[in-house]
Structure 1
Amino acid sequence: MKSPAKLALPSACKLLAVLNMLPQTVLTGLLALCSVSLTSAWVIPQSVLGNDANPPDSSSVDEDALARPSWFTSALMARRMLALSSSGVIATVFPDSIPPSARTPSTVAGLPIGLREYIADCDGSLPDELSHGGNGDPTILALRVATTFKNIGAGSNLSLEVDWWDHLADAGPVYPGLPDSPAALPRITLFGYLETLPELSDSASATLEKCFLRSHPDAKAWLPGVPGAPHASFWARLVVTQAYWIGGFGDVQQIGWMNVTEWKGIRRRSSLDGVGDGRGWEDVRLPGEKGKQ
Structure 2
Amino acid sequence: MHNVTLNNGVEMPILGFGVYQIPPDQTEQAVTDALAAGYRLLDTAAGYGNEEALGRAIKASGIPREQLFVTTKLWVQDGPAGDNTKRAFDTSLRRLGLDHVDLYLMHQPYGDVYSQWRAMQDIYREGRAKAIGVSNFYPDRLVDLIEHNEVAPAVNQIETHPFFQRTAEQDIMRERGVQIESWGPFAEGRNNLFTHPVLSGIAEEHGRSVAQVVLRWLVQREVVVIPKSVRADRMAENIAVFDFGLTDEEMARIAALDTGASLFFDHRDPTMTSRLGKVRVTD
| TM-score normalized with structure 1 length | 0.24
When Rg is computed on C-alpha atoms for both structures, the one with the higher figure is 1
Determine which structure has the larger strand proportion and give its number. Answer: 1
| TM-score normalized with structure 2 length | 0.24
